[in-house]
Amino acid sequence: MGLMPIMRWTIAAGLILIAVNAHATPGHKLLNHCKSGEGRGLESAIPFGTCLGFASAVMEAMIANGRDERLKVGSSSDAGVEYGYMSGHNACFPVGTNPGDVRNAAKEFLNNNPDKLDGKAVDLVAEALAGAYPCK
């Protein structure tokens, strides 16, 4: 089995774990997944997939919201950028933004803002991505 099928299953497992736990995930719980997913082997694959999948899902939701003219607060004139909006945060993602970069931006933000970790992870990741991918 190659790396891509394993990565797909890892991400799918992480998304299922998030979906099963329907209440709002706090930032500290997502940060724990992001940190424990740094190792090698199967025991770190699920936390890695959870962190990657969560951050990627927030980015995709922001982009989907950004396509809705009713929610659009601002925009970018750059044709190579996808506008995103969520939880009061605007972001402009270069077309083809790497999910690993999105995960790293979210993890770094959570790590650097311990005072915010009791907040909803979805709001914190939106804030992280707005900071990492600002609109010009």
What pLDDT is attached to residue 23?
66
What pLDDT is attached to residue 81?
86
Q: What is the mean pLDDT of residues 73-92?
A: 77
4-24 pLDDT tens trace: 566 566 666 565 555 545 568
Query: Distance (Å, rounded) from C-alpha 44 to C-alpha 136?
Result: 37
21-72 pLDDT tens trace: 556 889 999 999 898 877 777 778 888 889 999 999 999 999 988 877 554 5
pTM of the shown model:
0.77
Structural domain count, the chain: 1
List the domain range (segments joined by +) for residue 17. Answer: 3-132
Query: Distance (Å, rounded) from C-alpha 52 to C-alpha 37?
Result: 9
What is the b/e burial string over 74-103, where b = at least 16 CB atoms within 10 angstroms of the residue's CB?
eebeeeebbbbbbbebbbbbeeebebeebb
What pLDDT is attached to residue 72?
53
Q: What's the token pair of residue 80?
A: 């190579």
What pLDDT is attached to residue 51?
92
- Confidence band of 78 (pLDDT split at 50, 70, 90): low
Query: Distance (Å, rounded) from C-alpha 30 to C-alpha 26?
Result: 7
What pLDDT is attached to residue 1?
47
Query: Distance (Å, rounded) from C-alpha 76 to C-alpha 134?
Result: 10
